[in-house]
Amino acid sequence: MFKASVPVVEPAPDAVDHPAVPTEPVPLSVLELDLPAPTTGWLIELDRRNIEIVLDDLGRTSIARADAKMLLDEQRENERRQREAAEARDRAAVEADKAWRSQLSRGVSWLDMPPGVAPAAAMLAVDEDSRVSVREQLLQQELAHLSNGG
């Protein structure tokens, strides 16, 4: 039913110790699968960055593997920075929302409502008690300004 096992051929020690590093150039069409083309186009951008453009054995415009790795590493770093900046903006927005919500009136619990008083009337009475008039706010600002030597 089963055929005799095939003898195991072990790779040469050099192949195990030193894996082959590809040195062939990376075509720009392949690079574009992971890295969007610059708005100015590859030729202008690569020339600006002094990256040599070569033709591979099939005649495709390519760059050295080390240069492709550098470009991909830069893209990953830019994405990481953008992600961290977005996370910082999100945290700041959450903190600002928490601060804003902490200033909101809690309203009146139904347990604290006097009998026979409409809920809206009780809430307005509490709100008026905690409200500071515009005139009082301006006076407080003027006093603070004067006390600071202004």
E-strand spans in 4-149?
26-27, 54-55, 61-63
Distance CA 112, CA 75 (A): 60
Asked whether the predicted pLDDT for residue 72 surpasses 90, the reply is yes
Q: How far apart (Å, rounded) are the C-alpha atoms in residues 132 and 67?
A: 65
- Between CA 60 and CA 31 the distance in angstroms is 12
Beta bridge partners of 26: 63
Q: In the chain, what are the domain boundaries?
A: 18-104, 107-150
pLDDT tens sequence across 89-141: 999 999 999 998 888 777 667 777 777 878 777 777 765 555 555 566 667 77
Instruction: Report d(CA 113, CA 6) in Å as an integer.
Output: 89
- Conformation bin of residue 113: beta by default, left when phi > 0, alpha when psi is -120 to 50: beta
pLDDT digits (tens, 9 = 90+) for 11-66: 665 555 545 556 789 999 999 999 998 999 888 999 999 999 999 888 999 999 99
For the entire predicted model, the pTM comes to 0.54
Q: Select from 100, 107, 101, 98 the least CA-distant residue to 130.
A: 107
